[in-house]
Structure 1
Amino acid sequence: SRNSEGGNDHKGGGNPFSYGSTVKLDGHNYELWSRSFMLSVKGHRKRHIIEEDEPTNKSGKYITWEEDDSMVMSWIMNSVQPQIASTITYYTTAKEMWEFLRQTYSQDKN
């Protein structure tokens, strides 16, 4: 799609800084938050970012992966309460953040 400023929208359309979920993780609503967040991530075609490992080949597709990973990390940071965001700030991939939040807040820790 095209926008009025001449730039390109990301796949999935809309604002690249908007992940589409209004549910914020507060420490007690993990199941609702994770379901809502995953639906949005799937809708933006970024599910692989939190499910697959970082590419080992650091050229070509890696640049796209790194950009997508940064975007999903920002979505995660913006979808949690500030006290939770401070616990994930130093993770280096969205997958690491996602796994930490699952391990910390999910009732089903498997």
Structure 2
Amino acid sequence: MFVKGKELWCHLDGFSMAPTDPHELSLWEGKDAKIASWLLSSVKPHMVNNLCGFTTVKAMWDYLQWIYYQDNSA
């Protein structure tokens, strides 16, 4: 909800792709880094090492979904 409230959810759901224009790319990377810092500060310390190798928050988010996804269908 926090990321949605900041209108940055598009970085996590893949809707916002990295632009090719250098100025726009710089702004996009700044937003991505901001979300990464929020994500890294909200996970357990042992998970930080697993996430630091990813270059985008979308990749981090996909990894976390893969690790913690639970299929409760019977």
TM-score, scaled to structure 1:
0.58
- Between the two proteins, the alignment pairs up a number of residues equal to 70
The one of 38, 51, 54 aligned to 1:75: 38
Task: Judging by fraction of residues, say which structure has more helix.
Answer: 2
Q: Percent identity of the aligned residues? A: 29
- Which blocks of at least 5 consecutive residues in structure 1 are unaligned? 1-38
- Which blocks of at least 5 consecutive residues in structure 2 are unaligned? none
Q: Is the 8 A contact 2:12 2:58 kept in 1?
A: yes
Determine the C-alpha separation between the residues in 2 that align with 1:90 and 1:51. Answer: 19
Counterpart residue number, 1:21: none
Determine the C-alpha separation between the residues in 1 that align with 2:19 and 2:6. Answer: 23
* 1:85 correspondence with 2:48: yes
Amino acid at match of 1:50: L
**Structure with bigger gyration radius:** 1
Q: Is the 8 A contact 2:32 2:56 kept in 1?
A: yes
- The offset of 1:58, in angstroms, is 3.9
Greater shift after overlay, 49-58 or 84-93? 49-58
Determine the C-alpha separation between the residues in 2 that align with 1:66 and 1:56. Answer: 9
